[in-house]
């Protein structure tokens, strides 16, 4: 395979700059349980963001 073109690398970097990447470790077997609920990323993001909103509302 050839080298990745610079325009592709730039596009990937621009996309990645829009997000915070956080690596989280769970006990073995958790992935399978989470996959039963659908998209893991969407599920975890919704839980974390709703908790942060609730916490912020309690401070007000």
Structural domain spans, the chain: 22-60
Q: Is 45 in contact with 52 (CB distance < 8 Å)?
A: no
Mean pLDDT of 36-50: 94
pTM (2 d.p.) = 0.65
| Closest by Cα among 45, 21, 43 to 33 | 43
- Does position 29 have pLDDT exceeding 90, yes or no? yes
Return the pLDDT at 43: 94
pLDDT confidence bin for 1, thresholds 50/70/90? low
**31 and 40 Cβ atoms separated by less than 8 Å:** yes
> In what helix (H) or strand (E) does residue 17 lie, and over which residues does it extend?
none
Distance CA 28, CA 13 (A): 31
């Amino acid at each position: 395979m050839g080298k990745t073109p610079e325009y592709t690398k730039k596009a990937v970097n621009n996309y990645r700059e829009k997000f915070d990447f956080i690596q989280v470790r769970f006990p073995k077997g958790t992935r399978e349980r989470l996959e039963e609920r659908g998209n893991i990323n969407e599920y975890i993001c919704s839980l974390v963001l709703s908790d942060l909103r609730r916490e912020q509302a309690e401070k007000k």
